[in-house]
Amino acid sequence: MRWYVMHGRTSIFVDGDDWYLCVVGDCENLLPDNRCGYYENRPQICRDYSFTECEYSGDGVYDKLFESAEQLWEYAEAILPARERPNPKVGNPSLPALPILSLN
């Protein structure tokens, strides 16, 4: 989830027990006044779309809203049980060592 919010205009919100990924993507046919510039020839998915399902038309209140990787990290740190973290200088003994490749 942290990866998603670090790449572009995205956010994650929680409503009840459901988690949602919101990816903001502007249509290339959107006119400056927010009308469709391709309305008569729009694809079926656009014809089927209903603004009543749009998260922007609601009150915008969710149980949780995350807009940055830092927010997600802080939330995880607060709710997940503590775990032993390996020392980065020593490495993780539970993982196999990677082979060293020589280009010679």
d(CA 49, CA 57): 13
* pLDDT on residue 84: 66
Strands, E, within 1-104: which ranges? Answer: 10-15, 18-23, 64-66
- Do 64 and 13 meet the contact criterion of CB atoms below 8 Å apart? yes
Taking the CA atoms of residue 82, residue 87, residue 88 and residue 92 in that order, the dihedral angle to the nearest 10 degrees is -90
State the CB neighbour count (10 A cutoff) for residue 36. Answer: 13
d(CA 31, CA 29): 6
pLDDT tops 80 at residue 93: no
pTM metric for this prediction: 0.55
Interval 2-60: pLDDT, tens: 888 888 888 998 988 999 888 888 788 989 998 899 999 989 988 888 777 665 555 66
